[in-house]
Copies of this chain bind each other. A is one copy, B any other.
Amino acid sequence: MAATDGEDVERLRAGIIDTRRSPHFRLQTVPISAVRMGEGFWQPRMTANVRAGMPTFLGAMEEHGVVDNFRRLSGRTDVPFRPASYMSESDLYKWLEAVGLALQSEDLPDLRKTAEAVIDEVAAAQAEDGYLYVADPPPSERFSRLEGSHELYCAGHLMQAGIAYYRATGERKLLEVGVAFADYLTEQFGPGKREQTDGHPEVELALTELYRTTGERRYLDLAGFLLGRSQALRGLPPIAQRPALVDHCVRSGYICSGGADWYAETGDEMMWSNLLRLWDDLVTGKIYITGGVGARHASEAFGEPYELPNARAYAETCAQIAHVMWAWRMLLVTGEGRFADVIEQILYNGFLSGVSLDGDEYFYMNPLASDGGYQRQPWFGTNCCPPNIHRMLAGLPGYIFSTSSEGLWVHFYDTCEATLTAPGGSPVALSIDARYPWDGDIEITLTPDEPEEFALLLRIPGWAEGAAVSVKGEAFAALPQPGDRERSLPAATAQPGTYLALRRCWEAGDTVRLELPLPIRVMQSHPRVAENRGCVALQRGPVVYCFESTDNPEAPVADLALALDPQDAAGGFRAQWQPDLLGGVTVLRGAGVAASRPPSEYPLYRPRGTGPEASRARDKEQATAIPYYAWANRGDSAMRVWVPVASDSSR
C-alpha cells in the first residue's frame, strides 16, 4: 500500500530524525535524500556498506535462523526456534532500518526487493494484538523478564525500521507493524498499568520518532513515562537525575539520546540541565581519544573518571554510535560546535574502526592497544554492532548539514552536493569539494535559486587553530552584525570549536574556501589517566593514529618508544599521503626507539635503577603510524595508540 501524494511529500522532508515540529531544536535536520555524496572519504565506505556489508550480513542472519524465527511464528516454516544470537530480531530490524536509510540516498532495486520480502516475513509474524517477539512467550509471560528479555528494545528497533523504510519508499507495511506494536505497548504500559520498563533503553527514541511521524501524542507520553523509569531495574536513577555516567554505555547513550529528544519536544529543563552535566562527565574523563566509550568489559560499562585502559578498552562500536546519536541531538538543540567535535572524533576513529575496509567484518570492542590475536569478525554471539554500523553509514549524509532560521549549517566536510532550503524557503544548491580529512583545503559553492541574505555557518573544529576563510577569493573578516547577539548568532571569527557565521547575500556560484591547517598534533592525556602517563598519541585533523606492527616490524610495538624532536611541535613526525595503502591514507613517519633488551630480560618487579636500562636502547628507527580506524586490515597484528616518549625515565 503506497502512501498518498500528500504523505509522500511530507515523509520526504524528514531528516535522520524529524525535527520539524519539535519546539526546542534550534537546528533542523536535512533529508538524506537532499544530499548526494561525491568522491570523498565516506562514499567508498557507504558503497561497501550497501554492496558488501549489508547483503553478507543478511545472508548470515538467514543462515543462523534469524528470519526463520519469524517464519516459525507465521507458520511458514516448521524449523524450531533458534536463539540465533542474543536479541537477534533487533539485528534484523536495524538491518531493515539501514536499508530504509540507504534507499533515501539511492535507488537499490535488489536490496529493496530483498528487504520487502523480509518485511513480509516480519509482518506475517505479528500477533493479532500487535505483540511481536520471536521467542513467543505465552501471553501471561510477556514482559515478565524485562531486564533481560529486551522486548521493548526490540520493539523500538522495529518502529525505527518502519519509519526509515516509510521515509525512503512511502511503503507503510513495516511502519504499520511498528504502530500496531506501539499501540499495544500504550495499552500495556503506563501509570496504573505495567510500570516497569526494559532493561535496555531504545524504545523511548523510537516512540518519540513515531510521535513525530504520526502526530500521535500517546507515543510521546509513553516515551516520557518509560524515560522516568529507565534502568530502574538496574538500580539507577532516571536519566534526568543521574549524577554521572555509569553502567552500560550503549544503554546510557540511548537513554541520553531519548532524554534529549524528550527535551526537544517538551522543554523539560531539569532533563536538559542534567544532560549538560552528564555531557561534561563524558568529555572531561570518560571518552577515549578515539571517541571510544566504555572502559570496562564487566557490564560493558563506564569506568570512573580517567579510567581509560587501552588494551582493555571496551569501547563497543554500538556505544560510539549511541554517543553520536546523543551528541547529534545536543547539537541540534544548541548549535554548539563542542557536540559536533565529538561526533567527528567518533566517526573518523572509534566508530569507523568498527568495520573492515571491505565493509563486511566488524569489531565489537575497539581497544586502543593490542598484542595481536584481535581481528574483525563477520558474526558474533550478540550482533548488535554490525547492523548498527550499517544504519550509521547509510544515514551519514543526513548528518552533514542542518538548517535554521539563521541560515545553512555545515557540520562536516566531505565531497558532496546538496539541495538545502534557505531561511526564506527557497532552495539552495550547495556543493563541497574536499579531500578532508587528509587535506584541510575545502571549497564550498552555493547556488541559491534567487540571491538571498542568510548565514552560512561553517564548523571550525575544536583542534583547528589558524583556520582561514575566503569568500569569492577574498579573505572574510566580517565583524559581528548588529542584532547577532540578540539572535544568539556565533561571531564571525574562525574560533576553534565554534561555527563561523558568514552572513551575506549569496548569489549563484558564490564560492567559499575554508582552509583548516592540519599539523601533526602530539597529544598527551590528563595526568590521572594512569596508562597514558609518559605517553603521547598522534593526531592530524580529526584522525587519531596508531602504530601497527605491520608497519613497524623491527621490534614489538609494545616496546616502542618515540624519540620526539623537542624543537618541533610535531615531534619530528611528517605526514605522507599513501594512495595505495589501506584504501588511501596519510601516514605519519618519525623517529622511534625500541628497547635493546627483550622483555623477558626484565623481572616483573625490580629495585629502581637495577636491571636492563634505557641507555642501551637501540638507535633511532623510522616509526610509521597509520590512522587508527584502518588497523587490523592486513592480517593479525599488534597495535598501540598511546606510546611512551623515549626520554621517559621509567624505560
Interface residues of A (CB under 8 A from B): 283-285, 287, 289, 296-298, 303-304, 306-307, 309-312, 369, 371, 521-537, 558-559, 564, 569, 571, 595, 599-600, 602-609, 644-645, 647-651
B603/A526 in contact, CB under 8 A: yes
B599/A523 in contact, CB under 8 A: no
| B residues in contact with A604, CB < 8 Å | 283-285, 287, 306, 525-526, 529
The 3 closest A-B pairs by CB, nearest first: A297-B298, A530-B531, A534-B650
22 A-B pairs within 8 Å (CB atoms) are namely A283-B604, A284-B604, A307-B311, A307-B312, A309-B312, A309-B531, A522-B607, A523-B607, A523-B608, A524-B606, A526-B599, A526-B603, A526-B604, A526-B605, A527-B602, A531-B531, A534-B650, A535-B650, A564-B608, A647-B649, A648-B650, A649-B649
Nearest-Cβ distance from residue A5 to partner chain B, whole angstroms: 51
A527/B650 in contact, CB under 8 A: yes
Which B residue's beta carbon lies closest to that of A612? B527
- Apart from A307-B312, A534-B649, list 12 A-B contacts with CB within 8 A: A303-B312, A309-B530, A310-B530, A522-B608, A523-B606, A526-B604, A527-B559, A527-B602, A530-B530, A533-B644, A534-B534, A648-B648
Nearest-Cβ distance from residue A456 to partner chain B, whole angstroms: 29
Which B residue's beta carbon lies closest to that of A314? B298
| B residues in contact with A609, CB < 8 Å | 569
Nearest-Cβ distance from residue A281 to partner chain B, whole angstroms: 11
B605/A289 in contact, CB under 8 A: yes
| B residues in contact with A607, CB < 8 Å | 521-524, 569
Nearest-Cβ distance from residue A126 to partner chain B, whole angstroms: 35
| B residues in contact with A297, CB < 8 Å | 296-298
| B residues in contact with A309, CB < 8 Å | 309, 312, 530-531
A533/B371 in contact, CB under 8 A: no
Taken together as a complex, chains A and B put the C-alpha atoms of A285 and B600 apart, in Å, by 10
| B residues in contact with A602, CB < 8 Å | 526-528
Copies in the complex: 2
Nearest-Cβ distance from residue A625 to partner chain B, whole angstroms: 15
Nearest-Cβ distance from residue A597 to partner chain B, whole angstroms: 9
| B residues in contact with A648, CB < 8 Å | 533-534, 648-650
Taken together as a complex, chains A and B put the C-alpha atoms of A600 and B287 apart, in Å, by 15
| B residues in contact with A571, CB < 8 Å | 608
Which B residue's beta carbon lies closest to that of A519? B607
| B residues in contact with A369, CB < 8 Å | 530
B535/A284 in contact, CB under 8 A: no
| B residues in contact with A304, CB < 8 Å | 311, 371
Taken together as a complex, chains A and B put the C-alpha atoms of A341 and B276 apart, in Å, by 52
B605/A559 in contact, CB under 8 A: no
Taken together as a complex, chains A and B put the C-alpha atoms of A648 and B603 apart, in Å, by 22
| B residues in contact with A645, CB < 8 Å | 649-650
Taken together as a complex, chains A and B put the C-alpha atoms of A523 and B569 apart, in Å, by 34
Taken together as a complex, chains A and B put the C-alpha atoms of A522 and B528 apart, in Å, by 22
| B residues in contact with A298, CB < 8 Å | 296-298
Which B residue's beta carbon lies closest to that of A529? B604
Taken together as a complex, chains A and B put the C-alpha atoms of A31 and B287 apart, in Å, by 56
Taken together as a complex, chains A and B put the C-alpha atoms of A309 and B524 apart, in Å, by 20
Nearest-Cβ distance from residue A447 to partner chain B, whole angstroms: 39
B533/A650 in contact, CB under 8 A: yes
Taken together as a complex, chains A and B put the C-alpha atoms of A599 and B528 apart, in Å, by 8
| B residues in contact with A603, CB < 8 Å | 284, 526
A533/B536 in contact, CB under 8 A: no
| B residues in contact with A310, CB < 8 Å | 530
Which B residue's beta carbon lies closest to that of A595? B527
B528/A605 in contact, CB under 8 A: no
A650 touching B312 in the complex, CB below 8 Å, given contacts A371-B304, A605-B289: no
A524/B605 in contact, CB under 8 A: yes
Of B287, B296, B535, the contact of A533 (CB 8 Å cutoff): B535
| B residues in contact with A283, CB < 8 Å | 604
Taken together as a complex, chains A and B put the C-alpha atoms of A629 and B310 apart, in Å, by 29
Taken together as a complex, chains A and B put the C-alpha atoms of A284 and B604 apart, in Å, by 5
| B residues in contact with A289, CB < 8 Å | 605
| B residues in contact with A312, CB < 8 Å | 296, 303, 307, 309
Taken together as a complex, chains A and B put the C-alpha atoms of A603 and B609 apart, in Å, by 33
Nearest-Cβ distance from residue A526 to partner chain B, whole angstroms: 5
Taken together as a complex, chains A and B put the C-alpha atoms of A528 and B561 apart, in Å, by 11
Which B residue's beta carbon lies closest to that of A345? B605
Which B residue's beta carbon lies closest to that of A571? B608
Taken together as a complex, chains A and B put the C-alpha atoms of A528 and B306 apart, in Å, by 20
| B residues in contact with A559, CB < 8 Å | 527-528
Taken together as a complex, chains A and B put the C-alpha atoms of A644 and B530 apart, in Å, by 10
Which B residue's beta carbon lies closest to that of A527? B651
Which B residue's beta carbon lies closest to that of A610? B524
Taken together as a complex, chains A and B put the C-alpha atoms of A531 and B531 apart, in Å, by 4
| B residues in contact with A529, CB < 8 Å | 604
Nearest-Cβ distance from residue A137 to partner chain B, whole angstroms: 22
Taken together as a complex, chains A and B put the C-alpha atoms of A249 and B423 apart, in Å, by 64
Nearest-Cβ distance from residue A97 to partner chain B, whole angstroms: 30
Which B residue's beta carbon lies closest to that of A531? B530
B296/A524 in contact, CB under 8 A: no
Nearest-Cβ distance from residue A427 to partner chain B, whole angstroms: 41
Taken together as a complex, chains A and B put the C-alpha atoms of A234 and B285 apart, in Å, by 36
Taken together as a complex, chains A and B put the C-alpha atoms of A564 and B608 apart, in Å, by 11
